[in-house]
Amino acid sequence: MELIDRYVYAVTQRLPEQQREEIRKELYGLIEDMLESRSPDGEASPEDVEEVLLELGDPSVMAAKYRGNERYLIGPDLFESYLTTIKIVMGAILIALTVVFLIEMVLKPPGAVEQFTDYLVSLISTGAQGFVWVTLVYALIEYGIRHKDAGTNGSSKKWHPSNLPVIPLPEHRIKLSDPIFGIIFTILITVLFLFNPELIGVYLQQDGVLQLISLMNPDVIGKYVPYIVILGILGVLKETYKIITRRRTRAVLVIHICFSLITLIFAGILLNTAGFWNAEFLNQLQAIGLAPQSGEDYEVVKTIWLSVTNNLFYLIILMTVVDVAAESYKWLRSRRVYQA
């Protein structure tokens, strides 16, 4: 029966991944035996199922019995997603800093020893900060859950099988690859803007040497470092919430929309800051012979550059609207299925 499936799902989702399958089979067997004892000569009725589930009790309490009553900073309900998030964040930091290090090695070979030292220092310090932030966030969530449970246990409200959440369909669950890509992308962009914004530009091979022409002015970006850090943390938190829920909910959609709007506002402020773009970009293109010195061809190149820099924000608005609309559609589609 669906109610039994929902109960078993609610219990096993609170257990470590490696224990879920074994306990799932054990729970099904236990419930089947209890139902047979109530109706040995016929099929169990919905009322029998409800009585058995009420006898077994709240899924969170049942899961706690399987786990034991250990003391912990991050509870078992969150520990699996916590480990997953830690691995993703650490891996994303490693990828981002390694990419920056390799680019610098190619652009400035003589300073390899100093760059490698900076790379190791950045890797350790950034990794430590990432670990602390993720642990702190999960500890706060755990505290909130315990506080809520304490309040519930002290009230007269009793658990009932009708409170069981619906099992999300596979197509409406959030694939783990989505938040993994989101965290990697967020950390990569954040690291680039914080440490080496000049590396965001046009790369050209000339006479066997890799040339870089930066698109932006690092001095201007440096004024927004605190906001970039905050935005990066919010981006990782958004993806972390997806790892915890692993399904499309109203809260996931609201968080996604709010973060998209905050990012859009920050992009608008940044792009409209005087001196944000590299004022010497066209001159540097001319210096290496990739842009005409003058004449009609130069005016065409200049027009393209001005068009891109002046209208990029409108492109970002369009991309944001499309992204929010797509996420809203996915949520509405899953909501209709559960209401059907």
Q: pLDDT at position 340, please?
A: 46
Closest CA to 261 of 269, 208, 9, 281: 269
Give whole-number Cα distances, 82 to 54, 74, 89, 131, in Å. 31, 8, 10, 10
- Asked if 237 and 137 count as a contact pair (C-beta separation under 8 A), the reply is yes
- Asked if 164 and 232 count as a contact pair (C-beta separation under 8 A), the reply is no
Written as one string, the DSSP assignment of 48-75 is: HHHHHHHHH--HHHHHHHHH-----SS-
Q: How much is the average pLDDT of 319-338?
A: 84
Please give the residue that has the higher pLDDT: either 155 or 107: 107
**Residue pLDDT, tens place only, 12-61:** 877 777 778 888 888 888 888 888 887 766 677 888 888 888 888 888 77
Q: Which of 7-11, 122-126, 136-140, 142-146 is predicted with the least confidence, judged by mean pLDDT?
A: 142-146
pTM: 0.73
Written as one string, the DSSP assignment of 99-156 is: HHHHHHHHH-GGGHHHHHHHHHHHHHHHHHHHHHHHHHHHHHHHHHHHHHHHHHHTSS
**Residue pLDDT, tens place only, 235-276:** 999 999 998 888 888 899 999 999 999 999 999 999 999 999
Q: How much is the average pLDDT of 146-163?
A: 59
Going by pLDDT thresholds of 50, 70 and 90, the confidence category of residue 227 is very high
Instruction: Count the alpha carbons within 13 Å of 286 in the hemisphere toward its beta carbon.
Output: 13
> Which residue type occupies 15?
L
Q: Which of 41-50, 60-69, 71-80, 297-306 has the highest mean pLDDT?
A: 297-306
Tokens describing residue 47: 């009322």
- Backbone φ and ψ for 246, nearest 5 degrees, come out as 55, 25
Q: pLDDT at position 277, please?
A: 93
- Backbone φ and ψ for 276, nearest 5 degrees, come out as -65, -45
In angstroms, the CA 57 to CA 49 distance is 12
Closest CA to 86 of 127, 142, 41, 31: 127
Q: pLDDT at position 36, please?
A: 84
b/e per residue 189-220 (b: at least 16 CB within 10 A): bbbbbbbbbbbebeeeeeeeeebbbbbbbeeb
Q: pLDDT at position 320, please?
A: 96
Q: Which of 25-39, 73-87, 130-144, 235-249 is predicted with the least confidence, judged by mean pLDDT?
A: 73-87
- Asked if 29 and 4 count as a contact pair (C-beta separation under 8 A), the reply is no
Whether the predicted pLDDT of 156 surpasses 50: no
Q: pLDDT at position 68, please?
A: 63
State whether residue 204 is helix, strand or coil. strand
Please give the residue that has the higher pLDDT: either 4 or 69: 4
Going by pLDDT thresholds of 50, 70 and 90, the confidence category of residue 86 is very high
Q: Is 316 buried (19+), middle (13-18) or exposed (0-12) by CB count in 10 A?
A: middle
The pLDDT > 70 percentage for the chain reads: 89
In angstroms, the CA 79 to CA 142 distance is 10
Q: pLDDT at position 100, please?
A: 86
Q: How much is the average pLDDT of 119-143?
A: 87
